[in-house]
Amino acid sequence: MDAANRIGFQCLTATQNLRKVKALGIHQEYEVLHAFEFNSDRKRMTVILKDNHNRIKLYIKGADSIIKSRLTYKAQQPFLKSIEKRLDDFSRKGLRTLLVGMKVLDMQEYGEFLNKFLLIADSDNKEKEIGLNFSLALRY
């Protein structure tokens, strides 16, 4: 959090279903629709949020191999080679790395996800059973 504060990002309020942040001087609110916590089996965390403009966004962070396996290659990935080089440099230094991806979900995609999610509401492994594997475009 200290690093985020230094570059202009602050978490103002965090409840189970709401996040209020100040990003580069702009106040924003996000409704947390779904969160799949990080664990050592999945090697990633996924959260689906609704922003101030009712856009639904999926954010994912995790091990580089897991995130890269979820990238779409239908879209260009212009930063991937440079990121892979940096990941290699960091690993040679013994540093651990995480990658972050984001996808804006249209209402149809979110509706399909939600239908599957509600069908398996009592499962301990919802994300795996739903097949939550949206194709991501790597952002840099």
Which tens digit of pLDDT belongs to each residue from 71-110?
877 777 788 889 999 999 999 999 988 898 888 999 998 8
Contact between 62 and 42 under an 8 Å Cβ cutoff? The reply is yes
Task: Give long-range contacts, CB 8 A cutoff, 24+ apart: 108-114.
Answer: 109/134, 110/48, 110/56, 113/48
Sign of CA dihedral 5, 9, 13, 16: negative
* pLDDT at residue 68, rounded to an integer: 85
Site of tokens 């690993």: 91
Q: What value does the mean pLDDT of the chain take?
A: 83
Site of tokens 């996924």: 46
* pLDDT at residue 114, rounded to an integer: 85
Which tens digit of pLDDT belongs to each residue from 33-55?
988 888 777 788 889 999 989 99
- State pTM to two decimals: 0.77
Q: Please name the residues in contact with 9: beta carbons below 8 A apart, sequence gap of 6 or more.
A: 21, 22, 23, 24
| CA 47/CA 129 separation, integer angstroms | 16
* pLDDT at residue 137, rounded to an integer: 43
pLDDT of 127 over the 60 cut: no
Domains of the chain: 30-130 (3.40.1110.10)
